[in-house]
Amino acid sequence: MKTKESDTKTYLGMPLYRPKVGFFEFSSCEGCQLQIVNNESTLLDFLSLVEVVSFREAMTEKSDDYEIAFIEGSITRDDEVKRLKRIRKNAKILVALGSCACFGGVNQLKNRFKNLNWVKKEVYGRHPVDTEPVRAVEDVVKVDLKIYGCPVKKEEVEKSVLHIALGKSIEIPKYPVCMECKANENICLFDLGELCLGPVTRAGCNSWCPNSRAGCWGCRGPADDANVEYMKKIMKEKGFSEEAILERLECFGGFADFLKRKK
Residue least distant from ligand SF4 (Cβ): 198
Number of alpha helices (DSSP H) and beta strands (DSSP E) in the chain: 11, 7
Tell me the closest approach of the beta carbon of residue 246 to ligand SF4, in angstroms: 16
CA nearest neighbour of 67 among 43, 81, 37, 88: 88
Distance CA 49, CA 20 (A): 9
Q: Smaller CB distance to ligand SF4: residue 51 or 107? A: 107
Tell me the closest approach of the beta carbon of residue 204 to ligand SF4, in angstroms: 8
Q: Smaller CB distance to ligand SF4: residue 166 or 192? A: 192
Who's near 96: CB < 8 A, 6+ residues apart? 71, 102, 136, 137, 138, 143, 145, 146, 147
Other CB atoms within 10 A of residue 167 CB: 7
Q: Smaller CB distance to ligand SF4: residue 136 or 196? A: 196
Strand partners, 69: 22, 94
Tell me the closest approach of the beta carbon of residue 109 to ligand SF4, in angstroms: 11
Tell me the closest approach of the beta carbon of residue 84 to ligand SF4, in angstroms: 15
* Residues 239, 179, 189: CA angle, nearest 5 degrees: 30
Tell me the closest approach of the beta carbon of residue 87 to ligand SF4, in angstroms: 16
Q: For residue 68, report the phi and psi dihedrals to the nearest 5 degrees.
A: -115, 125
Binding site for ligand SF4 (CB under 6 A): 28-29, 31-32, 72-73, 98-100, 105-106, 149-151, 177-178, 181-182, 186, 188-190, 196, 198-199, 201, 205, 207-210, 216-220
